[in-house]
Structure 1
């Protein structure tokens, strides 16, 4: 069963793991990103922007800077993963990115980890079978490390994570 971006955000917010931006309407941002991506914007990405997520735990959302005045708009990292057919959604804080797959053409695509050491050429490992599942996994990341969870704990939250077509889950990525 899939979980929507909205449901995942509500759950994370209730846990105190999600911070939101306190800026205006996301309509301009959505239109701007849709234009930059050439109308190739998955519904889940739009839902994430509409939720106004700034960070989950220590992981900051990758959001272009939109402004009504075109000269003040900034793409930031938005195009960093386009050669690998993905759009960045979160930073790991160390130079690598989590990206939403654009190659599948589905409304709820998988999320992958792109390592800066690979120059973002390809996904290193699957981070979530959908954006909703990925958000929940990201919210558990630090706790899983602190608790010393065994490899594959992610399947308890995202039972389809090992079915992502472009890369294996982290415990099989090597």
Structure 2
């Protein structure tokens, strides 16, 4: 059974790994992104915006800068992955992005890692089979590196990560 975005956020917040935005601007953000995407938005993406996630560990969430006056709205990084049929969710702090797949048309699509060095053209590896599982993996990313976890440790949290259609998981990406 998959974990919902809300469940993942509650778990990570209890662990101190998730920070939320102080002010709830989710209604405006959802409206703006829905317009940017042509009226359609995966349910998981809307759920993430409604959770007001600011960051998970050292990974900053990518949100439009909301302002009630339309001429002041800025999509910024949101447009960075649209040509690759993805919506950016988080930055790794080095210019790379984690993006939600839009090509599948699913309500709970996979999350992929996009490298800035190839201008985000295609996903390099699968980062989670859903946003909920991705959030749990993201929270353990740095710790897994420090501990030297073996390739494929991600399967213990996300047993479907190796089934993501657009790119393999990191340990198979080469």
Q: Structure 1: any 5+ residue segments left out of the alignment?
A: none
Pairwise mapping of residues 135-150 of structure 1 onto structure 2 (< 5 A)?
135-150=135-150
**TM-score, L = length of structure 1:** 0.98
Runs of 4+ in 1 over 2 A off after TM superposition: none
1:20 aligned partner: 20
- Alignment: residue pair count: 174
Shift of 1:24: 2.8
Inter-partner Cα distance in structure 2 for 1:110 and 1:41 = 14
Pairwise CA distance, 1:77: 0.5
Deviation per residue, 1:94-153 (Å, 9 max, x gap): 000000000000100000000001110000000000000000000111110111100100
Contact 1:155 1:161 survives alignment (8 Å): yes
1:72, CA displacement in angstroms? 1.5
Say if 1:90 and 1:99, in contact at 8 Å, map to a contact too: yes
Aligned to 1:163: 163
- Measure, in 1, the Cα distance between the counterparts of 2:23 and 2:89: 18
Give the Cα separation in 2 of the matches to 1:173 and 1:149. 17
Tell me, what secondary structure is at the counterpart of 2:79? Answer: coil
- Contact 1:78–1:87 under 8 Å retained in 2: yes
Question: Aligned Cα RMSD in Å?
Answer: 0.7
For 1:80, what is the secondary structure of its paired residue? helix
Task: Return 5+ residue gaps in structure 2 as ranges.
Answer: none
In 1, Cα distance between equivalents of 2:159 and 2:24:
36
Task: Report how far residue 76 of structure 1 moved.
Answer: 1.3
Instruction: State TM-score, norm by structure 2.
Output: 0.98
- 3-state SS of 2:30 partner: helix
In the TM superposition, 1:1-174 aligns within 5 A as 1-174=1-174
